[in-house]
Structure 1
Amino acid sequence: MGAPLPSREEQAEEVIERLWEEYPDATISLNFENRLELLVAVVLSAQCTDERVNTETAELFEKYRTPEDYANADVDELSEDINSITYHNSKADYLKSSAQTIIEEHDGEVPDTMDELTELKGVGRKTANVILQHGYDLVEGIVVDTHVQRLSRRLGITEEERPEAIEQDLLDIVPEDEWKWYTHLLISHGRAVCTARNPDCEACVLADVCPSAKGDSDVDLASGEPWDA
């Protein structure tokens, strides 16, 4: 009779411990110098790489320095200024609208609560969590991006599929003092090793505890598809 399977809490603790050893400097990769820049960068990063966002914001942050700069901007010009970003037309509208709300309702300051942040156009829980964690050092949840979603399912830490449900599940599983760093550890590993289409399981420090590892499973538990699909 084989050894009993670890609980999801035990699995999460093992994953975190190993990934800390592998990525001791894991942290946010977006460039910003203040809370407004953080808000802008995170809004732009939706369905876009942080590397691309950092390239675009290097000039953007020189031109737009205050909420008034975004609020008073011509939305077509703002869209053109971020035209290498995915969904740049929609995101330009989000930035202009959010800046107007920040001026009118928050005295020009990026708000510091989940409810107020998620009232800004284009800001959901993921974006709000990033702003709270890295702008205010307030940890109220876990940022669930595509890497966290994929790896948490592959590793058997959650069976949920929607980001909101995954976050709520993880809050009961991941130790609270690791909520902030859980995201950055999984993002680092997702970029370096456990990629979406061709994960390098042979080089993975989690292979022996991963129920989705090639050789242990013919199916990617994150997608339900065969590895060679």
Structure 2
Amino acid sequence: MPGVSRTLSTRSTRLTARASPYNSEVTLFESNAAGPASPRRSKRVKREVEVDDPMDSLAGKSKTAKAKSSPSKTSTSKKAAAKSPQKPKPIPQALAVPHPTPERWQETYNIIREMRSRIAAPVDTMGCDKAHLKEPSTDPKTRRFATLISLMLSSQTKDEVTDAAVSKLRTALGGSLTVDALADADDKTISEAICKVGFWPKKTKYIKLAAQRLRSDFDSDVPKTVDELCSLQGVGPKMAFLTLHNAWNINVGIGVDVHVHRITNRLGWHKPCTKTPEETRLNLQSWLPAEFHREINHMLVGFGQSICLPVGPRCDLCDVSAAGLCPSAQKVSKSKVRKGVVVAPKSPTSGSPPKIEIELEDEEKPALYTIPDSSAGVKEEIKTELTW
């Protein structure tokens, strides 16, 4: 009514009603400036501060409006991106610029190959490339799987220990190293079988996950590509290339382990010296002919186990050093008893026995002891004492 003023209040705003001075039938409403601020507006402003980027003020209101219009959509997309698995990067296969071919590498390679034909090394009988031959099952999938598991267990472990662990694991799984048997085995059974290898707790997890993954994604068979093999936890490029060599007879690169990495750097085949096995692999693949890619690992591993040792290399027994082709050759100091090396004659004849070379402290040259074939008991006794 005219001349009457009344106050209306709501939960968010206090309004004052008064009659219009121009028309008595019209009521005007005005906000009370002394009233409390709107909690809804306050909450909306706070949401803008939390959601918007601090740089929104430089971009104007459009960015703020966009953030306000679909905050739930933005939040959902961020969560989805965080949960999506990251795709593994493909394994590089070649250098952009090939490494220069080392001088006289072929001569050095042939000398090492000839030496390896006369030297017995652990890898020759207990290497991972022999695992499939020791598998009693004739199923090709099982034999390929045995090769993969042997390689996964071999990291930071001697061939003798790996070979024994694979045999013990096979027995623990019922006599055959199959995908199903390993995938369904409990962790304790696996751990007790492989506890002698390096990093066995992690390898217990990795080989079981690998078996489960092969069963679910690869029809219980070993993958045939490097990238698929490296997608398995615990499998790196070295294992992948060697698996393809020995399980599938596929040659797409070089399996470079610590022996290949160490020896090729000692020979001066990398300039500058490589810092990782992967750098070594890419360098070698850029100039070494493909026909040598498969055999170089086995050849240099045995050479590194018997002659070109990590510590105290036997340069006194090395033909590469004698030919002046090794820039890292060292003068071997005398010691009371050096590690024995089984060496066959350079020109082997029919029935010619091998020789064990032992260096004694007071002798100018190593003494050569020929072990007749008839003295089998003596031969085994000496080989037992001269551990690798």
Which category of TM-score, normalised to the shorter sequence, fits these structures?
A: 0.7 to 0.9
Whether 2:139 is the aligned partner of 1:23: answer no
The aligned amino acid for 2:153 is: L
Question: 2:104 — aligned with what?
Answer: 11
| Aligned counterpart for 2:226 among listed residues 91, 99, 114 | 114
Q: What percentage of aligned pairs have identical amino acids?
A: 30
| Aligned counterpart for 1:194 among listed residues 304, 308, 312 | 308
| 3-state SS, counterpart of residue 196 of structure 2 | coil
For the pair shown, the structure with the greater C-alpha radius of gyration is 2
C-alpha separation in 1, matches of 2:212 and 2:103: 46
C-alpha separation in 1, matches of 2:326 and 2:206: 39
The aligned amino acid for 2:104 is: Q
| 3-state SS, counterpart of residue 167 of structure 2 | helix
User: 1:179 Cα shift?
Assistant: 0.7
C-alpha separation in 1, matches of 2:194 and 2:169: 8
User: 1:22 Cα shift?
Assistant: 1.4
User: 1:172 Cα shift?
Assistant: 1.4
User: 1:9 Cα shift?
Assistant: 3.6
The aligned amino acid for 2:257 is: D
Higher RCO (CA-CA < 8 Å; seq separation 6+): 1
Whether 2:327 is the aligned partner of 1:211: answer yes
Q: Deviations over 1:175-222 (max 9, x none)?
A: 11001111111111111111011011111111110001115xxxxxxx
Distance 1:11 1:51, change over 3 A: farther
| Paired residues for 1:22-171 under 5 Å | 22-24=115-117, 29-30=127-128, 31-33=130-132, 34-64=143-173, 65-158=177-270, 159-171=273-285
User: Which structure features the higher share of strand residues?
Assistant: 2
2:260–2:300 CA contact under 8 A, matched in 1: yes
Question: 2:347 — aligned with what?
Answer: none
User: 1:59 Cα shift?
Assistant: 2.4
C-alpha separation in 1, matches of 2:258 and 2:102: 21
Q: Deviations over 1:29-69 (max 9, x none)?
A: 23312111111110000000111111121221233331111
2:168–2:194 CA contact under 8 A, matched in 1: no
| 3-state SS, counterpart of residue 209 of structure 1 | coil
1:44–1:53 CA contact under 8 A, matched in 2: yes
Q: Gaps spanning 5+ residues in structure 2: where?
A: 1-99, 133-142, 332-388
C-alpha separation in 1, matches of 2:104 and 2:127: 26
The aligned amino acid for 1:94 is: Y
The aligned amino acid for 1:53 is: T
- TM-score, length-normalised on structure 2? 0.52
Q: Gaps spanning 5+ residues in structure 1: where?
A: 1-6, 216-229
1:13–1:174 CA contact under 8 A, matched in 2: no
Superposition RMSD on alpha carbons, in Å? 1.7
The runs of 4+ residues in structure 1 deviating greater than 6 Å are none
1:139–1:179 CA contact under 8 A, matched in 2: yes
Count of aligned positions: 209
User: 1:76 Cα shift?
Assistant: 2.8
User: 1:23 Cα shift?
Assistant: 1.6
User: 1:77 Cα shift?
Assistant: 2.5
1:37–1:61 CA contact under 8 A, matched in 2: no
The aligned amino acid for 1:88 is: W
C-alpha separation in 1, matches of 2:298 and 2:191: 29
